[in-house]
Structure 1
Amino acid sequence: MDWLKIGIRTQKEAEEIFSALLMEAGARGVSIEGDNAACAKDGLPWDYLDEEVLAKVPFCVTAFFPCDGNEQKILSDVKERVRQVKGMNLGVPLGSLEIITQTVCEQDWENAWKAYFKPVKISDFVVIKPTWEQYSAAQDDVVIEIDPGMAFGTGNHETTRMCVRFLEEYIEPGMTVIDAGCGSGILSIAAAKFGAKKVFALDLDPVAIEVTEDNAKRNRCGGEIEVRQSDLLAEVPEDVQADIVVANIIADVVIALNKVAQGYMKRNGMYICSGIIDSRLDDVRKSLEEMKFKVIQILEDGEWRAIACKYRG
């Protein structure tokens, strides 16, 4: 299948805004690219560059849409969404907002990014290993082997790393976990490998559902992980009371989830929120406190924040 690649030239501070915009427009995957002409460094993509270089480089937030005859409609929709964002007073630099399009063969897309996806240790114990790479595990390594396909999530992003660190700290054997926005399944698989008895992996994107199911089986966690296509927690059985709910999404969706998460949590259960840019931390924290969550710990990684809190009921 061919894919329509749409890129929006912006700035690092607006990464979250335009990633969310493209996903809401129906993207099957989002990536962030630096301006190669401005910052090429041995051919490496943006996330391998020094922070000092990144601060000076315009970002291009890119997304992939299937070429199924609706390309012009999708492009018009994205342009309208960008126009609306441009008219808002968001308090962050937006950059040029130039929109770039390209048709990409799926094989070319896969080969382009696979070259940079290597085994990486993202916490004290967890190692993310792509299926096509070799890795010699140390005794204490918890290896998660994934192929993200066209789903979002390779484990390299700051928000994922912080969620994994929280899971390492707070999960105990036999717990029930809800992963809201599972992407390629990394957090669900980590929870299962840390001893969770039952994990509900939820995502609205059917591609993410398929990829998570495949990765769960690949890591021999298919019995513990139940994957469901769901808008937030809508498809979680009503009688489920989770010990941990983890949501690695974006600030606005986290705030919306705060209002419903408590209905699926045990009293004193842990709620882990990530995908929060620093400028939105106070908004998310205020929403949590209004919903009877007590903030226990906040992690920082670059401009991103993750919150662990306890539901007081």
Structure 2
Amino acid sequence: MATAPGEDPVASAWARVAIVAEVELAEVVADLLWQAGAAGVEEQDVDGGTRLIGGFEQRTDAAGACVTAERMGLVAEVLEVDDDGLDAWRAWAAPERAGRFWVTPPWVDAPSTGPGEEVLWIDPGRTFGSGSHPTTRLVLALLDELVAPGASVLDVGCGSGVLAVGAARCGAGSVVATDIDPGAPAATVANAERNGVAGSITATDRPLADLAADGRTYDVVLGNLLAPVIVELGAALVACTAPDGVLVVSGLLEDRWEATMPALAPLVPVAVVADDGWVAVRLTRGGGR
């Protein structure tokens, strides 16, 4: 992979971090890798536990993950990679079910769909968001009941735009998709066009604080993030949620999600759904829908 002028090629080379832990610690280790900046996390069953492998674009981030793991009493190993790690997963990509949708990469055959099911074509390109992670599937499955025809939606941390596109396919009148990753807007627009909803989606890399300062509120706000980011952006997420709107946050571990809720006050949780150790939490003002 080419490096930018002045960039240290050693610091920017891709690396993988492997951590073996007891099965009950798998969720904690996965969270550690995601928070350290992993572009993806793979989980493998091994004798006596679980092996989790995180792929990092920056070797400095990989080193940071190792330090954190060692502080937790875990043994971490850095594995070299022969490519940039972003495209190797494509050979094993397959459709993923999430609510009414089958999230499907455009280079594989569409799955057979039953009544009320449909295919959502998503190519993450070089951004986070293939639709395979439980946090994404959880939020996507909720959209059908939350997005009324013509609703306004804000997707924070949109990545490839899978949630933004899903919301538009559910009938949203307008969707704003934002992510600080500079590659996210282009990936989101491409997926919106691929699914025939480009006219409903505006993709941007403007920070959430800037959008909140505009004063616009949305019927549905989606934040598929991680706990520290939700805490950091809590006030802006609340500010962007309409008085009678709903906020959905995900990227939270099932046994620790409640610790994040004070950052989203005065919104209160009204429903929690879980999948594979992760949760998505729906919040409103006054305990409505």
Shorter-chain TM-score: what band? 0.7 to 0.9
Q: Secondary structure at the match of 1:273?
A: strand
| Partners of 2:69 and 2:75 within 8 A in 1 | no
Please point out which of 16, 32, 35 is paired with 1:20.
35
Please point out which of 292, 295, 301 is paired with 2:275.
301
Q: Which amino acid aligns with 1:79?
A: A
Matches within 5 A, 1:127-138: 127-135=102-110, 136-138=112-114
Displacement, 1:143? 1.9
In 2: Cα distance, 1:248 partner to 1:269 partner: 17
Q: Secondary structure at the match of 2:268?
A: strand
Give the number of aligned pairs. 271
In structure 2, the CA distance between the partners of 1:62 and 1:281, relative to structure 1 (3 Å rule), is same
In 1: Cα distance, 2:93 partner to 2:64 partner: 33
In 2: Cα distance, 1:220 partner to 1:150 partner: 21
- TM-score normalised to the size of structure 2? 0.84
In 2: Cα distance, 1:82 partner to 1:254 partner: 24
Please point out which of 63, 78, 81 is paired with 1:99.
78
Matches within 5 A, 1:81-96: 82-83=66-67, 86-87=70-71, 95-96=74-75
In 2: Cα distance, 1:263 partner to 1:33 partner: 35
Displacement, 1:171? 1.3
Please point out which of 11, 33, 39 is paired with 2:42.
33
- TM-score normalised to the size of structure 1? 0.78
| Partners of 2:270 and 2:282 within 8 A in 1 | yes
| Partners of 1:180 and 1:233 within 8 A in 2 | no
In 1: Cα distance, 2:196 partner to 2:238 partner: 30
Q: Secondary structure at the match of 1:234?
A: helix
Displacement, 1:155? 1.2
| Partners of 2:66 and 2:77 within 8 A in 1 | no
Please point out which of 140, 151, 156 is paired with 2:132.
156
| Partners of 1:271 and 1:311 within 8 A in 2 | no
In structure 2, the CA distance between the partners of 1:85 and 1:105, relative to structure 1 (3 Å rule), is closer
Tell me whether 270-279 or 8-17 shows the greater mean CA deviation.
Answer: 8-17
In 2: Cα distance, 1:83 partner to 1:77 partner: 10
Q: Tell me the equivalent position of 2:258.
A: 282
* 2:32 maps to 1:56: no
Displacement, 1:142? 2.8
In 2: Cα distance, 1:126 partner to 1:77 partner: 34
In 2: Cα distance, 1:255 partner to 1:105 partner: 31
* 2:219 maps to 1:210: no
Displacement, 1:9? 2.0
In 2: Cα distance, 1:143 partner to 1:275 partner: 24
In 2: Cα distance, 1:210 partner to 1:268 partner: 31
Tell me whether 275-284 or 3-12 shows the greater mean CA deviation.
Answer: 3-12
Q: Tell me the equivalent position of 2:101.
A: 126
In structure 2, the CA distance between the partners of 1:33 and 1:302, relative to structure 1 (3 Å rule), is closer
Q: Which amino acid aligns with 2:154?
A: I
In 1: Cα distance, 2:211 partner to 2:285 partner: 21
In 2: Cα distance, 1:105 partner to 1:262 partner: 37
Q: Tell me the equivalent position of 2:202.
A: 226
Displacement, 1:210? 1.7
In 2: Cα distance, 1:144 partner to 1:75 partner: 34
What whole-Å deviation, never above 9, does each CA across 1:135-156 have from its counterpart, x for those lacking one?
2444422321011122111112
Q: Tell me the equivalent position of 1:259.
A: 235
Matches within 5 A, 1:117-196: 117-123=93-99, 125-135=100-110, 136-196=112-172
In structure 2, the CA distance between the partners of 1:298 and 1:80, relative to structure 1 (3 Å rule), is closer
Q: Secondary structure at the match of 1:210?
A: helix
In structure 2, the CA distance between the partners of 1:274 and 1:76, relative to structure 1 (3 Å rule), is closer
Q: Which amino acid aligns with 1:6?
A: A
In 1: Cα distance, 2:142 partner to 2:209 partner: 21
Unaligned runs of 5+ in 2: 3-11
In structure 2, the CA distance between the partners of 1:81 and 1:61, relative to structure 1 (3 Å rule), is closer
Give the fraction of aligned pairs with identical amino acids, expressed as a percent: 25
User: Taking CA–CA contacts closer than 8 Å with sequence separation of 6 or more, which of the two structures ends up with the larger relative contact order?
Assistant: 1
Displacement, 1:312? 4.5
Q: Which amino acid aligns with 1:241?
A: T
In structure 2, the CA distance between the partners of 1:285 and 1:77, relative to structure 1 (3 Å rule), is closer
In structure 2, the CA distance between the partners of 1:94 and 1:307, relative to structure 1 (3 Å rule), is farther
Displacement, 1:202? 0.7
Unaligned runs of 5+ in 1: 24-29, 40-52, 66-73, 88-92
Q: Which amino acid aligns with 1:173?
A: P
Q: Which amino acid aligns with 1:75?
A: R
